[in-house]
Structure 1
Amino acid sequence: MKKLRLGILISGRGSNLNALIGACQRNNFPAGIAIVISNKSDAEGLENAKKARIKTKVIQHKDYPDRETFDREIHNCLMSENVDLICLAGFMRLLSKWFVEKWPNKIINIHPSLLPSFKGLNATSQAIKSGVKVSGCTVHFVVPEMDEGPIIIQAAVPVLNNDNTETLSARILAAEHKCYPKAVEIIARKQISFSNQKANKQNNYTSRNSLFNPPID
Structure 2
Amino acid sequence: MTRLAVFASGKGSNLARILAACQQGTIAGSVVLVVCNEPGAGAVGIARMAGIPVLIADHRDYPSRVAHERAIVHALDEHQVILVVLAGYMRLLSPFLLGYLYDPRMKQSRVISIHPTDPALYQGPAGYAWAIATGQTATAVTVQYVDEGMDTGRIILQEAFAVLLEDTVETLKARGQAIEHRLFPRAIQHVVDRMGSRLSCAAS
TM-score normalised by structure 2 residue count: 0.89
**8 A Cα contact 2:26 2:185, kept in partner:** no
Alignment of 1:36-185 (within 5 A): 36-104=34-102, 105-185=109-189
AA aligned opposite 2:145: F
Distance 1:132 1:28, change over 3 A: closer
CA contact (8 A) 1:36 1:55 kept: yes
- The one-character-per-residue Cα deviations of 1:32-71 (angstroms, maximum 9, x if unpaired) are 1011111121111111111112111211111100111101
Name stretches of at least 5 consecutive residues in structure 1 with no aligned partner. 195-217
Partners of 2:160 and 2:195 lie apart in 1 by: 21
Aligned-partner Cα distance in 2 for 1:175–1:46: 23
State the partner residue of 2:106.
none
RMSD of the alignment, in Å? 1.8
Overall identity of the aligned pairs, in %: 35
Question: CA, structure 1 residues 126+193, in 2 after alignment: closer, same or farther (shift >3 Å)?
Answer: farther
Partners of 2:125 and 2:182 lie apart in 1 by 22
Change (3 A) 1:123 1:192: farther
Q: Which runs of 4 or more aligned residues in structure 1 lie more than 3 Å from their structure 2 counterparts after TM superposition? A: 191-194
Question: Which residues of structure 2 form unaligned runs of 5+?
Answer: 103-108, 199-204
How many residues align? The count is 192
CA deviation string 1:13-44 (max 9, x = no partner) = 11110110110101463111011111121111
Name whichever structure is richer in helix by fraction.
Answer: 2
Q: How does the TM-score come out when normalised to structure 1?
A: 0.84
